[in-house]
Amino acid sequence: MSAKLADPVPSAEHRSRLEKKTGFRLSATDKFISVVIYTLFSLFAFACVYPFYSIIINTISANDISAKGDVVFLPKHIHFQNYVDVFKIPGLGTAAMVSLGRTVIGTSLTVGASAFLGFMFTQEDMWGRKFWYRFTIITMFFNAGIIPWYLTMRSLHLTNNFLAYILPTIVAPFFIILVKTFVESTPKELQHAASIDGAGIMTLFFRIILPISKPILATVAIFAAVDQWNSFQDTLLLVTESKLYSLQFILYNYINQASSLSTMVNLQNAGSTAMASLATKQTTTSIRMTVTIIVVAPILLIYPIFQRFFVKGIMIGAVKG
Partner 1 sequence: MRMRNFGIRSMSMRKFLYISPFMVLLFTFAYYPLYGWVYAFFDYTPPIPLSQSPFVGLRWFRSLVENQVKIDQLLQVIKNTLGMSGLNLLFSWLPMVFAIFLTEIKAVRFRKFIQTVTTLPNFISWVLVYSLAFSMFSSEGIVNGMLRQLGMTDSPILFLQNSDHVWLTMWLWTTWKALGWSAILYIAAIMGIDDSLYEAAHVDGATRMQVIRHVVLPSMLPTYFVLLMLQIASFLNNGLEQYFVFQNAFNKDSIQVLDLYVYNLAMGGGSYSVSVAISMLKSVISVVLLFSVNGLSKMLRGESIV
Taking alpha carbons only, the member of 259, 270, 291, 260 closest to residue 82 is: 291
- Segment interacting with partner 1, rule: CB under 8 A, options 41-49, 84-92, 260-268, 273-281: 41-49
- Would you say how long the chain is, in residues? 321
Task: Indicate the residue among 70 and 184 with the shorter CB distance to partner 1.
Answer: 70
Alpha helices in 23-142 (DSSP H): 28-59, 63-67, 81-85, 92-120, 129-137
231 binds partner 1 (CB under 8 A): yes
Task: Indicate the residue among 36 and 275 with the shorter CB distance to partner 1.
Answer: 36
CA gyration radius for the chain? 25
Min dist. Cβ of residue 127 to partner 1 (A): 4
Cα within 13 Å of Cα(309), Cβ side: 18
Task: Indicate the residue among 270 and 301 with the shorter CB distance to partner 1.
Answer: 301
- Segment interacting with partner 1, rule: CB under 8 A, options 90-98, 151-159, 179-187, 265-273: 151-159
Min dist. Cβ of residue 273 to partner 1 (A): 29
In a 3-state reduction of DSSP, which class is residue 277? coil
State the distance between the two ends of the chain, measured CA to CA, in whole angstroms: 15
| Choice from 187, 211, 271, 304 touching partner 1 (CB under 8 A) | 304
74 binds partner 1 (CB under 8 A): no
81 binds partner 1 (CB under 8 A): no
Helices 214-230, 173-185: crossing angle, 10 deg rounding:
170
| Choice from 233, 242, 257, 277 touching partner 1 (CB under 8 A) | 233
| Choice from 32, 37, 90, 163 touching partner 1 (CB under 8 A) | 37
Residues 6+ apart with CB under 8 A from 120: 126
13 binds partner 1 (CB under 8 A): yes
Q: Footprint of partner 1 on residues 258-277 (CB under 8 A)?
A: none
Taking alpha carbons only, the member of 108, 127, 133 closest to residue 184 is: 133
Min dist. Cβ of residue 31 to partner 1 (A): 10
Residues 6+ apart with CB under 8 A from 219: 178, 309, 310, 312, 313, 316
198 binds partner 1 (CB under 8 A): no
Task: Indicate the residue among 128 and 273 with the shorter CB distance to partner 1.
Answer: 128
| Choice from 28, 35, 74, 125 touching partner 1 (CB under 8 A) | 125
Q: Footprint of partner 1 on residues 96-115 (CB under 8 A)?
A: 113
